Structure 1
């Protein structure tokens, strides 16, 4: 119960003390800076929804004074814009890290736990330890600093938006390589999401090694295969 109250308090604090001189997506970071936190991190992931490929998590650390006006939630940006911003972000931020968790581990842990694991790996891989961490609707156990979990944090936090761009760009590059390794599924275009063309490719080719066996319709495919083997 206390955790839920803390979340409400965090959101209320931000809404009550908006600084009209600052961009909206820098308000949370500014409040942390004003409270004495000098190293603020934002974390986000890409690839929770697809039926193929990895989930990729990124953590970005910023100090006061770091801001890129064009940064926004990665889903709102074109691929060309994301790639341009990727280079700016890794050049300007204080520190950053990315972790990739493949489909085998996703199947073993489930996607929620695999996402948290990826974020923990990325966090522990940083060269600089952040004093505060902002996440998108997740909490990480073991982080000793201040932690803020907000729904759609990538829309209201600059640091989280930066992390979302890094995770998205890197995952897209991975899926483009998988398109070459496993042709026929359209991974370059669909990035592992279940489109009509992707479903048709599955019916024709069957699952590839990077399809997630715990996700439908892959799960049913292997379930039917086991039944067939028992006959």
Structure 2
């Protein structure tokens, strides 16, 4: 290995697997660059092992029910409770038992690129995917908590098949005729719920990007309707849009004052 340049050795260590005899030879190479490359290699292996361990843990709920003969386990999650505008969206996902997407976790912990990539993989490999949307009008009518439940129920109904069991993030769905587990922070503990989290997040982000094209002043493509500084500035300068949730503060404050202070509903 001493006849090879450090650049060549770095390329070798970027491979998925490196033979043990090569690693042993590199350990004996006293060049500082080689030892640094080995350190990077070991760090990469350690990170991958952590992700594999995480994946194994996140399949524990599913494994338990597979062992009971229940194979159609639907993970359910919703996104969009907190924003000042747009719908709340839920997804239900049934994954095959051999689904192994390393790195899949709570959608909030993933980059935009990762979410987009993972969403496509999930859609391609899932047994079933269902999406439920509840509009801002309905949110104002029945409140955000009930709207979140309704979105989750719709997502399950859109699966197209009957699940054997539900794994739900945080919220009980008592109106559905299926056994279930309600898991706090379920998108970090169940691979099925994490998959639903990603599907729901990507779907809702695309909705908000479409709304942004019509109402660019609020930067919905960046904040997804949350009350960021740019969003609040847009409200100050342009008033509210038809997509804002009128029962949410500070939106309802603009409604109260629109006739007195000239606030405009866009």
Instruction: Give the alignment's TM-score, normalised by structure 1.
Output: 0.86
Name structure 1 gaps, 5 residues minimum: 1-19
Residue in 2 that maps onto 1:11: none
SS in 2 for 1:43: strand
Residue in 2 that maps onto 1:7: none
Deviations 1:35-83 (CA, angstroms, capped at 9, x unpaired): 2211100000111110011111000012322232221110000000000
Residue in 1 that maps onto 2:171: 138
Deviations 1:132-163 (CA, angstroms, capped at 9, x unpaired): 00111111123222200011000000000000
The structural deviation recorded for 1:226 is 6.5
**Within 5 A, what are the aligned runs for 1:81-92?**
81-92=114-125
Is 1:201 matched with 2:234? Answer: yes
SS in 1 for 2:218: coil
The structural deviation recorded for 1:22 is 6.6
Residue in 2 that maps onto 1:179: 212
The structural deviation recorded for 1:224 is 2.7
Correspondent of 1:118 among 122, 133, 151: 151
**Within 5 A, what are the aligned runs for 1:1-231?**
23-225=56-258
Deviations 1:204-229 (CA, angstroms, capped at 9, x unpaired): 10011101001110012212337779
The structural deviation recorded for 1:124 is 1.0
In the alignment of these two chains, the number of paired residues is 210
Alpha-carbon contact 2:96-2:125 (below 8 Å) kept = no
In 2, Cα distance between the equivalents of 1:179 and 1:128? Answer: 34
In 2, Cα distance between the equivalents of 1:184 and 1:121? Answer: 32
Alpha-carbon contact 2:104-2:118 (below 8 Å) kept = yes
The structural deviation recorded for 1:179 is 0.6
In 1, Cα distance between the equivalents of 2:55 and 2:236? Answer: 52
Alpha-carbon contact 2:74-2:93 (below 8 Å) kept = yes
Alpha-carbon contact 2:86-2:243 (below 8 Å) kept = yes
Q: Closer, same or farther in 2 for the Cα pair 1:22/1:164, shift >3 Å?
A: closer
Name structure 2 gaps, 5 residues minimum: 1-52
Q: Closer, same or farther in 2 for the Cα pair 1:147/1:226, shift >3 Å?
A: farther
